[in-house]
A and B are shown apart, each in its own frame.
Chain A
Amino acid sequence: MSSFLARAKSHFPQGQDLLTLVAIWTVLITVPFWLPLLGGYTALASKVLVFGLAAMGLNLLLGFTGVLSFGHAAYFGLGAYGAGLTLRYLVHSTPLAMLAGVLLGGLAGTLFGMLIVRRRGVYFAMCTIAFGQLWYYLAYSWNDFTGGFDGLRDFHREPIGFSRFTFDITQGETRFYFFSLAIFAAAVGLMGLLLRSPFGRTLVAIRENERRARFLGIPVERHVWMSFSISCFIAALAGTLYALLNNFADPLTLHYSLSGYFVVMTVIGGMRTFWGPLVGAALFVMLQDYISSMTVNWMSFIGVIFILVVLFFPRGLLGMRRRTAT
C-alpha cells in the first residue's frame, strides 16, 4: 500500500509542472466566462481547443518521436468530412458521426503510415505532404458528394444522449465548448498516460538516438508507425469536433496550409513539451483572428510569424521555460 502511494506520488506532477497543470486547466474551464469580456467569443475558444488537440496529437509524432509529418491536415480534414458526411447522409447522431470521422481519418493515416515508415526526415515529410493533398483534390473535385470548393453544408450537430439524459449541444456556444473540453480532456489524458508508459519512453528513445534504439532490439519501424497512427487518430478526432463546431466541413481543412499551421503552433508553443502545442494554438488562432480582421494582407503577417519563429524562437514558449529551469 505504501509503495503504491509512493508510486502514485512520484507520478504526481510536482513543482513547476503542477503549477502549469493547474494554470492550464483553470484557464480552460473558466475561459467561456471571461473571454467575451475581453472582446473574444466562445467559438474562438472552441477553435483553440480543437486546433490545440490536433497540434498536441501531431506533437506526439513530431516532438516525442522526432518524425516530421507535414500532412496532418489530411487526417484532421478526413475527420471533419467523415463526421459531416455521416450526419448529412447517414444518421442524425453526433456520437456516431464522430466515430465515423475518427475511423476514417485514423485508418487512412494508419494505412498510409505503413507505406512510409522506413522514410525519414524531409523525405518522410514530403511523402506526407503529397499524400495529404490527395484528399484535398478528392474533396475539391467530387462535387456532388462533398460540396466541392464551397465545402460540405446542410448538416448540423445533434443533441447527445437520450430522453431525460439529453445534453443539448446545438444551442449556445458555451455548451459546445464544454462538450469539446470533455473530449479534449479524455484524449489528452490518454496521450499523457501513453507518454509515461514504456511505449512512450521508447518513442523518446527513438527520437534521441534511433540507431541505438535499433541496436537495443526495439522495432523502430513499428513504433514510428504506431505513433503516426495514434497521432492521426487524434487529429481526426479534433477534425470531427471542428466540423461539429462550425456545422460545416471546408476543403481547406484538408489543405497542406493547415498542416503548416499545426506544425507552427507546435513549434511556437514548444515542440518537446506536452502542453506547448496548446499554448501555440491559442497564440496562433488569436493572432490569426486578430490580424485577418485588421488587414487583407494577413498572409504576409502569418508568413512573417513563421519566419521569425524559425529564426529567433525555435524552442518555443514552454521550451524556453524548460531551458531556464534546468
Chain B
Amino acid sequence: MWQVVLFNVTNGLIIGAFYVLMALGLSLILNLSNVINFAHGNFLALGGYLAYMLSPTLGYWGALLVSPLLTALLGVAVERLMIRRIYNRDPVYSLLLTFGLAFVIQDACRFIWGPNGLPMGLPDMLAQPITPDLFFITWYRVFMVTIVIVTVVGLFAFLRYTRIGLRIRAGTFDLETVATLGVNVRNLRTFNFAVGCLLAGLSGVLAAGQIGLNPNMGDDLLMPSFIAIIVGGVGSLIGTLCGGLLIGMAAALTTVFYPAASEAVIYGILMAVLLIRPRGLLGEEGMFS
C-alpha cells in the first residue's frame, strides 16, 4: 500500500510540476499582456517535437537546452506578427487569435510529424530506476522535478533581482505608468511572451521523455493550468505556483482512492475557490474584477 501511495505522490509531484511550468508561462503572459494564450499547449508540443528532431544531432542534453530557446524564438515571431496587433482591443480578439493559432500549430505538428505517437529517446542513465525497491521512480522523474525546481527558482530570482524582472512585475500592476516612465513596453511584452513560450517548450521536452510525443500532448495540460491560475489567484505568480502544485497533488492522491474522480477533484477545488475566495488563494483584491 505505501508503495501505491508513494507512487501516486511522486506522480502528483510530477504532474503538479508540469501544471506549474505551464501555468507560470500562461500567467506571465496573462498578467502583462492580458492575453489568454490558448496556443500554450501547442507551444509545449512544439518544444517536444523540436527536441525530438534535434536530439540525433545535438544529443539529448543539447536538445534539452536548444529546443526551449527555439520555442521562445517562435513565440517572439508570433507575438511580433500577430498578438501585438490586438493588445488594445476587446479581449475576445486575443482569445480567438490564440485559439486559431492553437489549431494551426496542432495541425502543422500532425502534418510534419504524423498523427501517431512518437517515442522520445532518453540517455541510459536517466532511464534507470533509482533503486530496485523503488522500481517505479526512475532517475528521469527525479531529474524532471529537479529541472522544474531549478527553473522556477531561476524565474522567480530573475523577476525579483533583475531590472527587466522588476519591470515585468511593475507592468502587471500598472502598465501605463511603466510606459510613462520610459520603458519600452512593446519590447517588454515581446520578451515576456518569449519567456512564457520558453517555459512551455521546456515542459514539452520534459513531457516528451515521460509520455512520448503526439500532436495534442499539450491539450490535457491546458485546462488544469487555467484552473491553477484561477485557484492561485490571477496576478500572483506565487499563487499560480501553489495552485499548480495543489491541484496536481489533489488529482494524484484522489487517483489512489477513486481514480474516476481525479479530474472532478480539480473542478471541485475550482468551484470551492470561486465560492469561498473568488479572488483566488493569493490573488489581489480588485484585479480583473
Contact = CB atoms under 8 A, between A and B. Distances in A.
B230 A127 contact: yes
Contacts of B260: 141
B30 A303 contact: no
A126 B274 contact: no
A276 to B, nearest CB: 13
Of the four ranges (under 10, 10 to 19, 20 to 34, 35 or more), the interface on chain B belongs to 35 or more
A118 B102 contact: no
A208 to B, nearest CB: 13
Interface in A115-158: 115-116, 118-123, 125-127, 129-131, 133-134, 137-138, 141
SS of A interface (majority): helix
Contacts of B106: 299
Interface stretch (A45-53, A84-92, A263-271): A263-271
B187 to A, nearest CB: 21
B111 interface: yes
B93 interface: yes
A122 B288 contact: yes
Contacts of B103: 299-300, 302-303, 306
B96 interface: yes
Contacts of A121: 34, 91, 288
A193 interface: no
Interface in B205-228: 223, 226-227
Nearest to B263: A137
A122 B36 contact: yes
Given A303-B103, A307-B82, A127 B274 contact: yes
A120 B271 CA distance: 17
Contact of A307 (B91, B104, B107, B271): B104
Contacts of B86: 310-311
Given A126-B230, A311-B85, A306 B96 contact: yes
A305 interface: yes
Interface string A5-43: 000000000000000000000000000000000000000
Given A129-B226, A133-B223, A141-B263, A123 B234 contact: yes
Among A304, A307, A311, residue most surrounded by chain B Cβ atoms (within 10 Å)? A307
Given A130-B270, A314-B89, A119 B278 contact: yes
B29 to A, nearest CB: 11
Contacts of A159: none
Interface string B70-111: 000000000000100110011111111101111110111011
Interface string A246-279: 0000000000000010011001000100000000
B197 interface: no
B95 A263 contact: yes
Contacts of A218: none
Contacts of B58: none
Q: How large is the interface on A (under 10, 10 to 19, 20 to 34, 35 or more residues)?
A: 35 or more
A120 B287 CA distance: 9
A303 B230 contact: no
Contact of A68 (B92, B264, B274): B92
A314 B92 CA distance: 10
B108 to A, nearest CB: 7
A62 B89 CA distance: 14
A69 to B, nearest CB: 10
B92 A271 contact: yes
B82 A303 contact: no
A297 interface: yes
B275 interface: yes
B104 A116 contact: no
A303 B104 contact: yes
A118 to B, nearest CB: 5
A323 to B, nearest CB: 16
Given A122-B34, A131-B270, A68 B95 contact: yes
A122 B92 CA distance: 8
B278 A115 contact: yes
Given A129-B226, A130-B230, A304-B104, A137 B288 contact: no
B162 interface: no
B22 to A, nearest CB: 14
B38 to A, nearest CB: 8
Nearest to B104: A303
B63 interface: no
A101 to B, nearest CB: 22
Contacts of A68: 90-92, 95
What are the 10 A-B residue pairs with the smallest beta carbon separation, nearest first? Answer: A306-B100, A303-B103, A123-B288, A303-B104, A299-B107, A300-B107, A303-B100, A134-B267, A307-B100, A310-B97
Interface of A: 62, 68, 70, 115-116, 118-123, 125-127, 129-131, 133-134, 137-138, 141, 260, 263-264, 267, 271, 297, 299-300, 302-307, 309-311, 314
Given A264-B96, A267-B93, 4 more contacts: A122-B35, A126-B226, A300-B111, A309-B96
